[in-house]
Amino acid sequence: MALRLKTKFRNKGPKTLDDRASVVAMNIWRIAHETCRHMEKEGYPLGGDRQVTAVLTELVAFLVQMSDRIVYGQLSEEDRVRFINALGRNLARITATNLAEFVGPGAHASEFVSTVNARLADYSEFEFDGRDPGYAVLRYLGEKVARAMDATDSKWVLEQVVDVEAPEAIKAIRKLVGEVLGVQAT
């Protein structure tokens, strides 16, 4: 799954942390979307619109958590909080816009924020080895994606997420956050 990220800034000169969060958010949405497309190509069909929405939300929440783990200790605590909050606001806006077009009107932003906040609280209980998620983190993501895909009769979703999709998404988010924020991502 080769994903081209849009990390270059159009204008030269320093950008604010909020600007950088916007770039990361746009690309997190792309990574999640590409992951869904890759899963479908690999024989894991996503059912209806609500199912796609649920899987995208799970992937985005995981990528936000990974972004936070990457910047932890590399940005001041104030900047880290500002970055993650700006990332969340941008992703809520992107999600609401895309889902309104995809599934129609609804409270997409509030549902998204509620789910992401719940997942971030859950992920905070898991062990990470520095910036690397432990197996339990990947399994949790796999279980959430598998549960979101329950309506399809896809077996082995959890394994596909743990063994293939999550490692590729992690590689992409590391590259993205490293380039955009100028932090060490490995």
Domain spans of the chain? 17-181
What pLDDT, on the 0 to 100 scale, is given for residue 46? 84
Burial of 74 (0-12, 13-18, 19+ CB in 10 A): middle
Q: pTM of the entire structure?
A: 0.89
Is residue 160 within 8 Å of 138, Cβ to Cβ?
A: no
Is residue 71 within 8 Å of 176, Cβ to Cβ?
A: no
What pLDDT, on the 0 to 100 scale, is given for residue 10? 46
Is residue 49 within 8 Å of 153, Cβ to Cβ?
A: no
pLDDT digits (tens), the chain, 186 positions: 555 555 554 444 348 999 999 999 999 999 999 999 999 999 998 877 788 889 999 999 999 999 999 999 999 999 999 999 999 999 999 988 888 887 788 788 888 999 999 999 999 999 888 778 999 999 999 999 999 988 666 679 999 999 999 999 999 999 999 999 999 987
Positions of E strands within the chain: 128-129, 132-133
**CA proximity to 132, closest of 70, 81, 59, 44:** 70
What pLDDT, on the 0 to 100 scale, is given for residue 11? 45
How many CB atoms are located within 10 Å of the residue 27 CB?
23
What pLDDT, on the 0 to 100 scale, is given for residue 14? 46
Question: Which residues are CB-contacts of 185 (< 8 A; sequence separation ≥ 6)?
Answer: 70, 131, 174, 175, 177, 178
Is 133 strand, coil or helix? strand
**CA proximity to 80, closest of 130, 17, 173:** 17
Chain centre to alpha carbon of residue 31: 7
